[in-house]
Amino acid sequence: MRSWLVLLLLAPAFVAAAPPTPAQVRAAWQPSEARLLDRNGVAIDSVRVDMRARRGDWVALAEISPALGAAVMQAEDQRFMQHGGIDLRAAGQAAWDNLFRQRPRGASTITMQLAGLLDTELRAAKDGRSWMQKFDQALAAREIEAGWSKQQILEAYLNLVSFRGELQGVGAASRALFNKAPSGLDGTESTILAALLRAPTAPPKAVARRACQLAAELKLPGGCASIEWRAAVALARPAPAPKPTAPLALRKLLGIAGAGVRTTLDARVQAAAIDALRRHVRELAERNVGDGAVVVVDNASGELLAYVANTGNGEVDGVAAPRQAGSTLKPFLYELALERRLLTAASLLDDSPVDIAAGSGAYVPQNYDRSFKGYASVRTSLASSLNVPAVRTLLLAGVERFHGRLRELGISTLTEDADFYGPSLALGSADVTLLELTNAYRTLANGGRQGTLTLRPRPPAPLNRLLDPAASFVIGDILADRGARSPTFGLRSDLATAYWSAVKTGTSKDMRDNWCIGYSDRYTVGVWVGNFNGQPMWDVSGVSGAAPVWRDVMDFLHRDRPGKAGAAPAGVVRKAVAYQPAHEPPRDEWFLRGTETALVEAVPAARRSPRIVYPVDGSIVAVDPDIPDRVERILFQAQGAGQHRWRLDGKDVGPADSSLAWQLAVGEHRLELMDAGGKAVSTSRFEVRGN
């Protein structure tokens, strides 16, 4: 120690390397968590990227409680404000104590400790610092004092020093140990943190004893009992870092460890979406609903304003996970039919039972409410989400053409083979992701112009014309029509906003997926709820599951300015239309120019071509072993069969003007619909299998 004192006296003869500036030290500081910043620079999420130490943001001295500064100076460097980096008085006392007392004592000032924190070569090894290291540390402290203010030195020290375990810096320590910002530390908490500096791994009782001593020296009120209890609680187990709410989305964006990544998200919209999703999923817990996801898109720019991957329970990204689409694909099917001028919004579709040959069996679609409406217009069929009219529209437009349109819209999860889905594609048997499906709806919101989505700020991206603007406008008008959706959903539901919005719900087979996606003139919002493990929900539809979340988010987005309907494009005309017979009341309807009509007349059954409706040609019917043979029947059904008769396997079996209940017989069969002259006008070959 005496040799070190001699070196200190000779220090002016040596020149140390210039230390970094306070600005350089602060610029080099990196939190241990990478932060996701919103469009305004507000931190909305984070993920741990550096496992070596736990560090928070750099904390300015003005944001640190003065009580901590006083406790640290009392514990580590009582003459910090007077010396120039080296406390010769303390060094001399330490030398005396080390020579003549059993307990050694150090003399490193806060500035000298800071020098060791800034330069790895000055840090102590397991057996302590060498004499040369101590000398270099003293020189570095003098250089720091020459270029830094005392406030800058204390600020850097409190940010760089380790307090306990992986906790580095006052920001991480105050939040992990006391769950508060550094500005809120009281005297007791400050003495505990100061006591940790000399022995970060000491047991809680030893830390409390030193903190009690510091409190007495600082003449703080209160006794040691309070300090011992606070130290025991704080040091028992530091609080864990906050759990990310969208970890997968973060990891895609964070390319630099510890950096803050600016996104297009809006912290207020993100928080509102998270709150709405969590609240409504909790309300649906009794119906076996446990998960959900939400995205909010700016229509004009394609910027994502909210990306809620899940409710916070796990790391599955529900925004990017493929799920069955349900009825959410219907708007694009009807848009295609309108665009190709196969139908108009006023066209009548037959909503009655239908069997469609599919592979080795029959496809028999049902409506959401298990009822049939008879004749329904395209407007009513889409707004009320009727399934049978959608299937008939798909057969009219073509499965392959609709499949290709969905792929053009960016639905990348479809298989390349349209035949894989068949007629069920109209009802959403395909898997889609919430992100891609929401962007497809954004295409409708933009009048048929398609663009990409982004989570990172970018220059304005061009939109490409994909859908017919006139057809897109009519589809939007239908999806905004609460009267047209009332047969299924009623006039009052979460779909009926107080401002203009177009919306569609969807529920997949067995209620495993529940959707609500819609748009205003400014935003498109997509919501999915269900269970990531694939379990079905219990009696949860789109209007009761995802729709309340969608409504809350949309209301928040339009709290200042309600959505408004866009102007009609040049390709549409509005015309009064009536129905004969009056399947629907007269109304003003939008038509693509050139398709308008004043009267829509349903074709009477007598004028329809007679044909067999069931069983469909190529059907395979299985005998149910649980039904007694004497009562098991299938119904032969035909349309337009006034004076026609049934002939089965060459034998007349009765008139065809009504359904005929036929007792099953195992084997291959040929069913014919015969006219009055004995000519077969429709034929169906089917097979009955069983014992």
SS3 assignment, position 537: coil
Answer whether residue 632 is part of any domain: yes
Q: Is residue 35 part of a domain?
A: yes
Whole-angstrom distance, CA of residue 444 vs CA of residue 569: 13
User: What pairs with residue 238 in β-bridges?
Assistant: none
Q: Which residues pair with 670 in a beta bridge?
A: 685
Do 122 and 9 lie in one domain? The reply is yes
- Which stretch, 203-207, 252-256, 661-665, has highest mean pLDDT? 203-207
- Domain carrying residue 610: 606-689
- Is the same domain home to 300 and 186? no
Q: Which residue, of 204, 236, 268, is where some domain finishes?
A: 236
- Show which of 564, 592, 620 is a domain's final residue: 592
Domain count across the chain: 3
Q: What share of the chain is helix, strand, coil (3-state, %, to 5)?
A: 40, 20, 40
The confidence band for 7, taking pLDDT boundaries of 50, 70 and 90, is very low
Residues 6 or more apart in contact with residue 106 via CB below 8 angstroms: 94
| Alpha helix segments (H runs only) across 148-254 | 150-160, 170-178, 187-198, 204-217, 224-236, 247-253
How far CA 52 is from CA of 172, 247, 268, in Å, comes to: 13, 20, 33
365 and 452 in a single domain? The answer is yes
**Residues 114-137 as b or e (16 or more Cβ within 10 Å = b):** bbbbbbeebeeeeeebeeebbbbb
Highest mean pLDDT (candidates 43-57, 143-157, 243-257, 434-448): 434-448
**pLDDT score for 8:** 45
Which range among 327-336, 344-353, 679-688 has the greatest average pLDDT? 327-336
In sequence order, what DSSP letters do the residues of 492-510 get, joined into one string? SSTT--SS--EEEEEE-GG
Residue 6's pLDDT is 42
Please say whether the beta carbons of 368 and 387 come within 8 A: yes
Which residues are within 8 A (CB) of 239 and not within 5 positions of it... i.e. 6 or more apart? 175, 176, 177, 179
The 8-class DSSP code of residue 218 comes to T
Burial of residue 295, with CB atoms counted within 10 A of its CB: 0-12 exposed, 13-18 middle, 19 or more buried: buried
pLDDT in tens, 128-174: 556 676 778 888 889 999 999 999 999 999 999 999 988 999 999 99
- On whether the CB atoms of residues 495 and 482 are closer than 8 A, the answer is yes
Q: Check pLDDT > 60 for residue 14.
A: no
Q: What is the dihedral of CA 113, 115, 117, 120, to 10 degrees?
A: -130
Q: Are residues 127 and 72 in the same domain?
A: yes
For residue 269, tell me if it sits in a domain. Answer: no
Q: Does the pLDDT value for residue 360 go beyond 50?
A: no
pLDDT digits 0-9 by tens, 626-657: 666 776 788 787 877 778 999 999 999 999 88
Is 481 inside a domain boundary? yes
CATH of the domain at 303: 3.40.710.10
Residues 50, 134 share a domain: yes
Per-residue pLDDT at 369 exceeds 70? no
**What are 201's two structure tokens?**
């791994």
DSSP 249-303: HHHHH--STT-EEE-S--HHHHHHHHHHHHHHHHHTGGGT--EEEEEEEETTT-B
| Residue 271 maps to a domain | no
What are the structure tokens assigned to 371, written together?
């009822």
Q: Is the pLDDT of residue 405 over 90?
A: yes
Measured distance CA(552)–CA(278) in Å, rounded: 12
Task: Identify the residue with better confidence: 584 or 90.
Answer: 584
Q: Could you say which DSSP state residue 128 is in? A: B
How high is the pLDDT of residue 632?
73
566 within 8 A of 473, measured Cβ to Cβ? yes
368 and 402 in a single domain? The answer is yes
Containing 684, the helix (H) or strand (E) segment is strand 680-689
* pLDDT (0 to 100) of residue 251: 62
- Please give the Cα distance from 12 to 142 (Å, whole number): 10
User: 68: which DSSP letter?
Assistant: H
Amino acid 607: pLDDT = 56
The per-residue pLDDT for range 663-677, each reduced to its tens digit, is 888 999 999 999 988
Burial call 14-25: b when 16+ CB within 10 Å, e when fewer: eebeebbebeeb
Residue whose token pair is 């998270």: 274
- The H helix count followed by the E strand count for the chain is 21, 30
Identify the three-state secondary structure at position 556.
helix
* 470 has pLDDT over 90: yes
Where does residue 636 fall: left (phi above 0), alpha (psi -120 to 50 degrees), or beta otherwise? Answer: beta
- The CATH number for 625's domain is 2.60.40.10
Higher pLDDT, residue 251 or 500: 500
- Are 550 and 640 in the same domain? no
Kindly state whether residues 537 and 658 are assigned to the same domain.
no
Left if phi > 0, otherwise alpha if psi is -120 to 50, otherwise beta: which for 267? alpha
pLDDT of residue 52: 85
List the one residue out of 538, 542, 499, 535 whose CA is nearest residue 330. Answer: 542
Token readout for 277 is: 């999703």
Do residues 638 and 682 make contact, with C-beta atoms less than 8 angstroms apart?
Answer: yes
625 pLDDT higher than 70:
no
Higher pLDDT, 545 or 301: 301
End position of a domain, from candidates 540, 558, 592: 592
Instruction: Please state, in angstroms and rounded to a whole number, the distance separating the CA atoms of residues 244 and 36.
Output: 10
Stated length of the chain: 691
Whether 220 and 301 map to the same domain: the answer is no
Query: Above 90 in pLDDT, residue 473?
Result: yes
- Cα dihedral 376/382/387/388 (nearest 10): 40
Task: Please say if the pLDDT value at position 95 is more than 90.
Answer: no
Question: Does residue 265 belong to any structural domain of this protein?
Answer: no
Assess whether pLDDT exceeds 70 at residue 438: yes
CB atoms within 10 A of CB 184: 11
* Of 656 and 450, the one with more pLDDT: 450
3-state secondary structure of 561: coil
Rounded Cα–Cα distance for residues 182 and 174 (Å): 6
Per-residue confidence band for 336, with pLDDT thresholds at 50, 70 and 90: very high
pLDDT of residue 99: 47
Beta-strand pair 162-164/167-168: antiparallel
Q: Within this chain, do residues 224 and 319 fall inside the same structural domain, yes or no?
A: no
Q: Are residues 350 and 466 in the same domain?
A: yes
Residue 250 lies inside a defined structural domain of this protein:
no
Q: Are 145 and 287 in a shared domain? A: no
For 9, the 3-state DSSP assignment is helix
Query: Residue 93 maps to which CATH number?
Result: 1.10.3810.10
**Does some domain include residue 243?**
no
